[in-house]
């Protein structure tokens, strides 16, 4: 563009912004709802432009919004169209990638032969075929589920496109640990001062969303995330990665950075305890167990394992009886004495005949509250699965369960294989951290729909994408 025309365009943009300020102020003064809509529109437009011009910035904005958008809901006091905004932002990032001409990196990923991606394609086809499931009463729930699945699918491939070097991997984990630490700090603040007035008002307005918030006379902490379950699971993931990185030698991570890591890990552990999520309590030792088994030759790992075991024994058998958090943690490991856990086992046995009789399942969105909403009158409607695997086998049948298990197994196998193929000490720790978090989520799926939570699925898809990209492009590179 000629210099004169470019200057004219810049002046025009400045004039439009000057005129827009009083116009927006006048429109906003007419009505509160209009002012909120105008503000959201301006923010959305700015984010869309940023995502188109810099898809990497848009990618991290997407993660930030996905994790914290529920705090905006509580501040506004009303339910917001979160899904529409995320879908729009994701498509904008995708367009930014398509039209990006600055970086054209060639990927060696075999999209048509890779085992993990082939299983993913098979699962996608299986979900599409589910629309013909005769056991499903309504297509509405299927449409909602497919929309979320496509969102996760696009996010997976966007992550694979964005990770082009180890610097990108390091940047991702730095960002994730930062925002996870901020969530942990906010959760600790909630525990110290109590829920803020707008949060309490939102709970009172939508009590059905927070049925399990009050446990043993105290609120379970959820920070700025959707609920205590999502918060607890992510705190466990962050704590696992932090503890893995703390075992690095001084030549890999300096003492200053280790002190920062120690603080971040400690805050994660505190927030994990305050969340009251028993599944997340189990995730921590399960993830660390895989890490310890792989690194028993490392002196720092043995020290960390001894400290972890001693801390766990102190929590389980120490003379702490009046603390509600400690009691809640103990109940996760002494399940036979907990009536709610026993009731879950009874419920699982009661639906086994239905599982055997329906190899393709009862249909998508037919269990629990979703079943009551989208498929009222269905035999599974209102049945609380309390397990990711049980939820899958009831809705998608044992065929769907086999596909899901294969997908998780191959993803974990990729992460472990990448660890043994890499030589850089820091990269090896990140890779075994990925494997440990994946294993912890796989175990957590037995007791809770951990991988189905929005925040967890975001993190898990990112880790799977990173594992695939490392397998093909970065295993022999330290740049």
Indicate whether 447 pLDDT > 60: yes
C-alpha–C-alpha distance, residues 195 and 180, integer Å: 19
pLDDT at 238: 92
DSSP string, 446-468: TTS-TTTSHHHHHHHHHHHHHHH
Indicate whether 211 pLDDT > 70: no
Tokens of 40: 């959201």
152-206 pLDDT per residue, tens? 999 999 999 888 888 999 999 999 999 999 999 998 888 888 888 887 887 777 7
What is the arithmetic mean of pLDDT over 65-76?
Answer: 80
pLDDT at 14: 63
In eight-state DSSP terms, residue 417 is H
| DSSP H/E element including 29 | helix 3-30
Cα 343 off chain centre by = 28
What is the arithmetic mean of pLDDT over 50-58?
Answer: 81
Indicate whether 29 pLDDT > 70: no
pLDDT range class, residue 127, cuts 50, 70, 90: very high
Q: Which residue has the tokens 């509600």?
A: 324
- Where are any strands of DSSP class E within 188-325? 214-215, 218-219
pLDDT at 42: 64
DSSP string, 363-400: -TT-SHHHHHHHSTT-TTBT----SHHHHHHHHHHHHH
pLDDT at 1: 47
* Other beta carbons less than 10 A from residue 294's beta carbon: 17
C-alpha–C-alpha distance, residues 263 and 272, integer Å: 14
Q: How many CA atoms lie within 13 A of 140 on its CB side?
A: 9
Closest CA to 332 of 267, 270, 277, 266: 277
Percent of the chain as helix, strand, coil, to the nearest 5 = 75, 0, 25
What is the arithmetic mean of pLDDT over 78-84?
Answer: 72
Indicate whether 5 pLDDT > 50: no
């Amino acid at each position: 563009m000629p210099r004169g025309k470019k200057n004219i365009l810049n002046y025009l943009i400045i004039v439009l912004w000057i005129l827009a300020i009083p116009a927006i102020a006048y429109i906003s003064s007419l009505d509160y709802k209009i002012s909120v809509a105008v503000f959201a529109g301006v923010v959305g437009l700015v984010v869309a432009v940023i995502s188109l011009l810099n898809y990497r910035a848009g990618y991290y904005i997407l993660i930030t919004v996905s994790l914290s958008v529920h705090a905006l809901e509580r501040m506004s006091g009303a339910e917001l169209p979160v899904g529409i905004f995320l879908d729009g932002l994701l498509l904008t990032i995708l367009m930014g990638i398509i039209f990006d001409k600055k970086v054209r990196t060639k990927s060696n990923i075999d999209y048509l032969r890779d085992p993990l991606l082939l299983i993913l394609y098979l699962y996608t086809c299986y979900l599409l075929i589910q629309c013909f499931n005769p056991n499903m009463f309504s297509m509405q729930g299927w449409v909602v589920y497919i929309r979320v699945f496509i969102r996760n699918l696009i996010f997976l491939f966007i992550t694979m496109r964005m990770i082009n070097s180890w610097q990108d991997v390091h940047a991702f984990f730095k960002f994730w640990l930062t925002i996870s630490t901020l969530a942990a700090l906010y959760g600790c603040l909630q525990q110290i001062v109590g829920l803020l007035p707008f949060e309490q008002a939102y709970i009172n307005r939508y009590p059905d969303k927070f049925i399990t918030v009050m446990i043993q006379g105290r609120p379970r902490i959820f920070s700025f995330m959707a609920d205590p379950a999502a918060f607890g699971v992510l705190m466990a993931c962050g704590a696992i990665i932090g503890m893995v990185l703390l075992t690095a030698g001084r030549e890999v991570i300096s003492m200053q950075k280790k002190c920062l890591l120690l603080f971040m890990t400690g805050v994660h552990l505190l927030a994990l305890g305050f969340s009251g999520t028993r599944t997340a309590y189990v995730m921590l030792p399960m993830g660390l167990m895989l890490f310890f088994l792989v690194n028993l030759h490392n002196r720092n790992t043995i020290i960390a394992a001894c400290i972890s075991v001693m801390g766990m024994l102190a929590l389980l058998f120490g003379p702490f009886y009046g603390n509600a958090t400690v009691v809640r943690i103990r109940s996760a490991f002494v399940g036979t004495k907990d009536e709610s856990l026993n009731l879950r086992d009874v419920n699982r046995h009661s639906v086994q005949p239905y599982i055997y009789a329906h190899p393709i399942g009862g249909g998508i969105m037919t269990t629990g509250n979703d079943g009551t909403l989208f498929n009222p009158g269905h035999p599974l409607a209102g049945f609380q699965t309390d397990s990711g695997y049980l939820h899958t086998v009831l809705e998608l049948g044992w065929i769907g369960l086999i596909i899901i298990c294969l997908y998780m197994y191959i993803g974990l196998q990729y992460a472990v294989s990448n660890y043994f193929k890499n030589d850089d000490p820091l990269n090896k720790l990140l890779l075994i951290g990925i494997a440990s978090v994946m294993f912890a989520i796989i175990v957590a799926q037995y007791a809770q729909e951990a991988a189905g939570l929005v925040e967890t699925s975001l993190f898990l898809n990112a880790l799977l994408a990173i594992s695939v990209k490392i397998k093909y492009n970065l295993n022999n590179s330290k740049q």
